[in-house]
Amino acid sequence: LILFRAAALLLGEALLHSGAAQRLADALLGALPLAHWPAAAVIALACALAPNLTVLALARFAQGMGGSMMVPVGRLVLIRTVAKRDLVAASAWLLMPGIAGHILGPPIGGFIVTYFDWRWIFLINLPLAVLTVWLAVRWVPETRDPRPQGRFDVGGAVLASLALAGVTWALTDPA
């Protein structure tokens, strides 16, 4: 139950601060998330090589936090590079890999763990990360905002985090 609460809270936090991911990506990388994919590959490798459940859980946590930052950065690229009239269609294509993953993941994952080793579920991400970086370099334009506006509201983020923690605790408390 404590792990469920922690996972729910951390997922909510990641989604809550996804706007900060856009600003961070813009400030450090532009919207081209090249630094993310090598990090995702390293984390996937850490999952595959995890010597115990604690290391696996920590690496999976890192994977989840990184994954929660992918959508805001992808959305940022779309907003800056796609004409308004094509935005809905482009958004559908942005979401398609996630939808396909939910459809194809369970049978492929079941096949892998039945006939191979569970660690291959994570190792399969390594060539995908290389392919993704190659495709991003080839097809995704640099969209860094030369004049970023505003600043991250630390006080608001802290208050929203505390409110989210309270709601999560209340909804998961068995009493």
Distance, in Å, from the CA atom of 121 to the CA atom of 137, rounded to the nearest integer, reads: 26
pTM, 2 dp: 0.65
Q: What is the pLDDT of residue 20?
A: 61
| Ranges assigned E (strand) in the chain | none
SS3 content of the chain, % helix, strand, coil (to 5): 80, 0, 20
Give the confidence band of 42 by pLDDT, cuts at 50, 70, 90. confident
Read off the pLDDT of residues 125-175 as tens digits, 9 standing for 90 and up: 889 888 887 887 787 776 666 666 667 677 777 787 788 778 777 877 766
**Longest CA pairwise span in the chain (Å):** 54
Of 133, 101, 147, whose CA–CA distance to 33 is shortest?
Answer: 133
